[in-house]
Chain A
Amino acid sequence: MAKNKILELHELKREFVMGEMTVRALKGLSFEINSGEFVTIMGSSGSGKTTLLNILGCLDKPTEGSYFLDGIDIKGLNRDELAGLRNKKIGFVFQSYNLLPRTNALENVELPLFYNKEISADERRERAIKALEAVKLGDRFDHTPSQLSGGQQQRVAIARALVNEPVMILADEATGNLDTRTSYEIMALMQELNTQGKTIVFVTHEPDIAAFSSRTIMLKDGKLQKDSINENPRSAKEALASLPTSDDY
């Protein structure tokens, strides 16, 4: 697999003007992420994590500096073009799943493809089924979110992130609402997707979760504190197996 650059940040700055005050959330970040990497972005609250995530997700634009996503400079894009870019290049996974209520799993997964005119109804369905099978929910197509557990809901959300075949899956505290066991299950799924070649950028504040990734970027006060390669990522599958099988209570 060719190591082409998926993400390229150069001296990225983001400032928010609030009244007379200017809050500098990101103070010049530069890093690259290659395809096939599993990167966790860590940092304490207020480190600029969320701001960075919004920019990486093309929901926000940098004040200064440049951001290339899959070779495209997002600086010159307008609202609609950014939406198109998100639709084709990014798969979001949120902390609170953000599934459409009272809508079954299959249709939730299909959703991104509705906004892509090039994809026919048949292909949409086919790809949604495939994505759900990839997250091992092949038997839950017509379950609505309320009929699914938190872990299952997050897996539907991951399927939704996969369905448009993005260049990068962008997860925002994707395990934040889940218990340890389910978190590990999700991480095992993420690792599996990563071995299949998916690029994953995972924003978290739990070092525990970061251990599963192959690279960790630490932010502090809007600056890069540490960018370390994890030569020996922990296997989520094994971690799962080591958990006590029966509940204590």
Chain B
Amino acid sequence: MSILNLLKIAFRALRRNKLRAFLTMLGVIIGVAAVIAMMAIGQGSKQSIQSSLSGMGSNMITVQPQSNSPGSVRLAGSSIQTLKLEDIEAIKRLQSDNINGLSPVVSSGGQAIRGGNNWPTSITGIVPDYLHIRQLQLQDGIMFSDNDVKKSAKVCLLGKTVIDNLFTDGSNPIGQIIRFKSIPFQVIGTLVSKGQSNFGQDQDDIILAPFSTVRNRITATNYLQAIYASAVSEAASDAATAEITAAIRESHKLLPSQDNDFQVRTQAQLIATITATSSMLTVLLTAIAGISLLIGGIGIMNIMYVSVTERTREIGLRMSIGARGKDILMQFLIEAVLISITGGILGVLLGITSAYLIAYFLQWPILISQSSIVISFLVCGVTGIFFGYYPAQKASKLDPIEALRYE
């Protein structure tokens, strides 16, 4: 019997018991919809974390001080003073092809004042490379030059939050003077807003000034809070990390037996850690959804057994007029697959709809990947075959004489 005819028979059988077929499908529908929606949520949040992290500079490498004397009290990184300008020079001397940006970072908290407005913020002393390391962009004005750094020029760039709080009158900040810890800085540029980071930090609450100016006039120390560098690519970031580590160790004259008194981190590592967590969540959610699909499959099996039993006479008749076991097997298998595939289609639609509803009402990021649709669809087909096979086989093994007499 041809597939087309088998499909016709299966359609008719299902149409005969519309409600029953629908209820059976419901298990599959809910299962598939749950898989799709869960994967959409999981992958959506993963993607949003990933994109905001790489927005911070996916090739960024940060070097921070760290205590290397396990016996003593371990202080927070910011209060340890191990990184120096010489370390920067040591890295520069490498002339590494893996590194395409390098900047010292010193910063100090304090009050920024302009006219009658003041705002508690912090000033960060850097060199021009910093902009591209952090992937910051100028909204307006210009970046200070290496020459400004050399001259300890009293110029600065402002983030949006600082502008909003100091220039409440809405005037153009470019060219104006603000004071930070009573040092006057001329505003020469403004930064494009980056919004909140994933950790709730306001990334626009910054003042950038030449490294030398901040160090000489505000922090008045030789030590650096951090060194920021960028690798030429994400792939090069491991090599760059190794080179930087080696250079700083040498500059700090550490013996091979000694631990690092600093810590080198790449953004890629951070992304990997965070996405691993979110991947695990996705797997977990999907597994739970998968279980409901399994239950849907058991529902199909159950109803197929009922269907085989109540159509025993029909099976007997079909066999007596020439249907082979294979024909009967295919007839019921196709019926089961039809239930699961139809349920799958409806489930995909319901899953996509509910994912969009979640995105709309809860403002959660979602991402519906084609693979999740294809996979759940395939799983559906397999579910139909797997759970439909045993009832169909039972039907095909019936003795036509017994089946014809079945009441």
Interface of A with B (CB < 8 Å)? Answer: 54, 57, 59-60, 79-80, 83-84, 86-88, 92, 94, 98, 100, 102-103, 111-112, 114-116, 160, 164
**B181: A residues at CB distance < 8 A:** none
Known: A98-B317, A100-B317, A114-B5. A80 touches B322 (CB 8 A): no
B12, B322, B404: the one within 8 Å of A86 (CB): B322
- Across chains A and B, the number of contacting residue pairs, with CB separation under 8 Å, is 54
Q: Mark B380-407, 1 if CB is under 8 A from A, else 0.
A: 0000000000000000000011001000
Are B401 and A79 in touch, CB under 8 angstroms? no
- Docked complex: B1-42 residues within 8 A CB-CB of A: 1, 5, 12, 16
A60, A83, A88, A102: the one within 8 Å of B319 (CB): A83
Q: Mark B297-328, 1 if CB is under 8 A from A, else 0.
A: 00000000000000001101111111111110
**Bound Cα distance A103, B400 (Å):** 21
**Bound Cα distance A92, B316 (Å):** 12
A54, A59, A100, A116: the one within 8 Å of B314 (CB): A100
**B313: A residues at CB distance < 8 A:** 98
**B5: A residues at CB distance < 8 A:** 114
Are A84 and B321 in touch, CB under 8 angstroms? no
- Who on chain A is nearest to B397 by CB? A79
Max count, chain A CB within 10 A of own CB: residue among B318, B319, B320: B320
Are A160 and B322 in touch, CB under 8 angstroms? no
Contact sample, A vs B, 7 pairs, CB 8 Å cutoff: A79-B325, A86-B320, A86-B321, A100-B317, A115-B1, A115-B327, A164-B321
Are B401 and A115 in touch, CB under 8 angstroms? no
A57, A80, A83, A103: the one within 8 Å of B12 (CB): A103
Known: A57-B320, A100-B317. A80 touches B1 (CB 8 A): no
B322, B401, B404: the one within 8 Å of A87 (CB): B322
Are B401 and A83 in touch, CB under 8 angstroms? no
Are B401 and A59 in touch, CB under 8 angstroms? yes
Can you add 16 more A-B contacts, CB < 8 Å, to A80-B324, A83-B322, A87-B321?
A60-B401, A83-B319, A84-B322, A84-B324, A86-B321, A87-B322, A88-B322, A92-B321, A94-B317, A98-B316, A98-B317, A100-B317, A111-B321, A112-B321, A115-B1, A115-B318
